[in-house]
Amino acid sequence: MRRHLLAALAVTKALQPHRLPPLGATRDVAASSLAVDEARDTHALPPIGPARDDAAMALALDEARAAAARGEVPVGAVVVDDTTGTIIARAGNAVEASHDATAHAELRAMRAAAQSVQNWRLQDATLYCTLEPCVVCLGAAYAFRIPKIVFGAPDHRLGAAGSWLSLHTETHPFHTLDVRGGVCAEESSKLLKDFFKERRRVGPRI
């Protein structure tokens, strides 16, 4: 049984080891970007409601700023235990560092949360993300059984919660997903605008 499990895990390993840049500051940044910034915070957020949404989104915005500092599109996410109000996991975008177009903050945070609680069913948790989730992340929220998503700014290009697609309003056979958008939207949007403005100024990659 254990052998089968190990074999299954081995499949997920890349054929080539991830090659970091030469020693130095660039390499440090690349390495730290790959780490999922997970935390099981002991301090509880306010009770469920707008105050909790604001407090959790402030933490997600911190993750977005940290992502920008690593040269990633500034999007952050946190997963909060609805019952206790504690933070199960937090993460920022890592698309550039991991060369993975789906290494979005939301997906990384949900994966880290499932690892943290050792259960892929996140049935009593809320996903907070600074940007409207894409179709991959929203689909993953269904897979992780997340019952509620709170997001900040709309994503007119890839958003699957009303902007491009409306996946969240589709009837699902057994799962409902409550979605609230527009929390700290201006701050989230400004982070993105500033990031792309700077990137246009210095070139296609920073």
Centroid of chain to Cα 98: 14
Whole-number minimum distance, CB 175 to Zn ion, in Å? Answer: 19
Is 97 among the residues that bind Zn ion (CB under 5 A)? no
Complex with Zn ion: residue 41 or 180, whichever CB lies closer: 180
Measured CA to CA in angstroms, residue 61 lies from 56, 66, 77, 117, 184 at distances of 9, 9, 8, 23, 9
Q: How many residues sit in the footprint of Zn ion (CB under 5 A)?
A: 4
Pairing of strands 148-153, 125-131: parallel
Is 109 among the residues that bind Zn ion (CB under 5 A)? no
Whole-number minimum distance, CB 75 to Zn ion, in Å? Answer: 8
Taking a C-beta distance cutoff of 8 angstroms, is the pair 130, 77 a contact? yes
Complex with Zn ion: residue 45 or 153, whichever CB lies closer: 153
Picking from 149, 151, 150, 152, the residue whose alpha carbon sits closest to that of residue 185 is 152
Bridge partners of 127?
79, 149
Quick one: CA dihedral 149, 154, 158, 164, positive or negative?
Answer: positive
- Structure-block tokens of residue 5: 């499990």
Q: Which of 38, 63, 106, 132 is catalytic?
A: 106
Complex with Zn ion: residue 116 or 130, whichever CB lies closer: 130
Complex with Zn ion: residue 45 or 141, whichever CB lies closer: 141
Whole-number minimum distance, CB 21 to Zn ion, in Å? Answer: 26
In whole angstroms, what is the distance from residue 59 CA to residue 150 CA?
13
Q: At what angle do helices 50-69 and 105-117 cross, to 10 degrees?
A: 110
Residue listed under structure tokens 């997001």? 151
Is 60 among the residues that bind Zn ion (CB under 5 A)? no
Complex with Zn ion: residue 112 or 134, whichever CB lies closer: 134
Whole-number minimum distance, CB 164 to Zn ion, in Å? Answer: 12
- What is the per-residue binding string for Zn ion in 117-156, x denoting contact by CB under 5 A? -----------------x-xx-------------------
Which range of residues in 43-51, 80-88, 99-107, 194-202 is near Zn ion by CB under 5 A? 99-107
- Structure-block tokens of residue 102: 């789906």
Instruction: State yes or no: is 106 an active-site residue.
Output: yes
Is 104 among the residues that bind Zn ion (CB under 5 A)? yes
Binding site for Zn ion (CB under 5 A): 104, 134, 136-137
Active site residues: 106
